[in-house]
Amino acid sequence: MSDTYVLVHGAWHTGAHLEPTAQAIRSAGHECHCPTLAGNRPGDNRSEVTLEEAVQSLVDYIVDNDLRDVRLMGHSYGGMVIAQAIDRIPERIRRLVFFNAFVPLNGECLLDMVPPHYAAQFEEAAAQNGQEVTLPFPVWREAFINDASFEQAKATYDDLNPHPYLTFTTRVTLKSQLAEMDVGKSYVNCQQDTALPSTHAWHPRLSQRLGLFRLVECPGSHELLFTDPRRFAQAIVEAGRD
């Protein structure tokens, strides 16, 4: 049976980075979309874009394309976006899939869920770069894409784009907590993901906020979408199926 997937990228990424994963999902017989969120598009004013605008861009994409029964995957920062999208258009979403993603409570922002030194680093970078945030290459190489060769780490880093800092500080507004929502929920955890330190681990610290959820685990770093997009796709389909 063909299912409909919408893949939501993380910070510093675009929908194009998820296309190899989407192609693998399509090869399995499913429909798959990879929109690029407001704030990560060419020409966007990254000094002004908030999380609200990123969420609205996703909602508009789903509605404009009349997508229904959507299995909505959010990677990393994308978890902040899908958590609010389900609040806006619950009738169009069949299941939420958080892939090493942030799972906010009502009133939280992304910086509430990262270590203090990350928050300070992002704040300093934004102040120096017109409210745009980038990752230092050593952090990308060692913590985000630790399963890649140096050459792949450098090539993927060079293809990232600055991210709007205000999306990290905007507080989420939810009618109810995710654990209370009547929708299927899954969490995918890559076992070598060290983008967050063990004191702030993705799973189970954030996954347990979903209430009842399906857990899918697989080998790989935070950037499995680059290092093994087919395995990334397989995990998404395992998490998204009924």
Closest C-alpha to 88, from 49, 50, 62: 62
Task: Give pLDDT, residue 1.
Answer: 80
CATH number, domain of 9, equals 3.40.50.1820
Q: Is the peptide bond prior to 204 cis by the omega test (within 30 degrees of 0)?
A: yes
Q: What is the pTM of this model?
A: 0.98
Task: Give pLDDT, residue 217.
Answer: 98
- On the question of pLDDT at 228 being above 90, the answer is yes
Residue count of the chain, please give it: 242
What domain range is 158 assigned to?
4-240
DSSP code for 184: E
Task: Give pLDDT, residue 165.
Answer: 98
Question: Cα 71 vs. chain centroid, distance in angstroms?
Answer: 14
**Could you report the per-residue pLDDT of 143-176, keeping only the tens digit for each?**
999 999 999 999 999 999 999 999 999 999 999 9
- Other CB atoms within 10 Å distance of the CB of residue 198: 7
Strands (E) in 51-173, as ranges, are 70-75, 93-99, 132-133, 163-164
Closest C-alpha to 73, from 194, 187, 209: 187
Average pLDDT over the chain, rounded to whole? 98
Task: Give pLDDT, residue 30.
Answer: 98
**Could you report the per-residue pLDDT of 46-93, keeping only the tens digit for each?**
999 999 999 999 999 999 999 999 999 999 999 999 999 999 999 999
Number of structural domains, the chain? Answer: 1
Strands (E) in 36-145, as ranges, are 70-75, 93-99, 132-133
Handedness of CA 50, 177, 144, 121 (dihedral sign): positive
- How far is residue 230's CA from residue 32's CA, in Å, rounded to a whole number? 14
- How far is residue 215's CA from residue 97's CA, in Å, rounded to a whole number? 10
**Could you report the per-residue pLDDT of 3-30, keeping only the tens digit for each?**
999 999 999 999 999 999 999 999 999 9
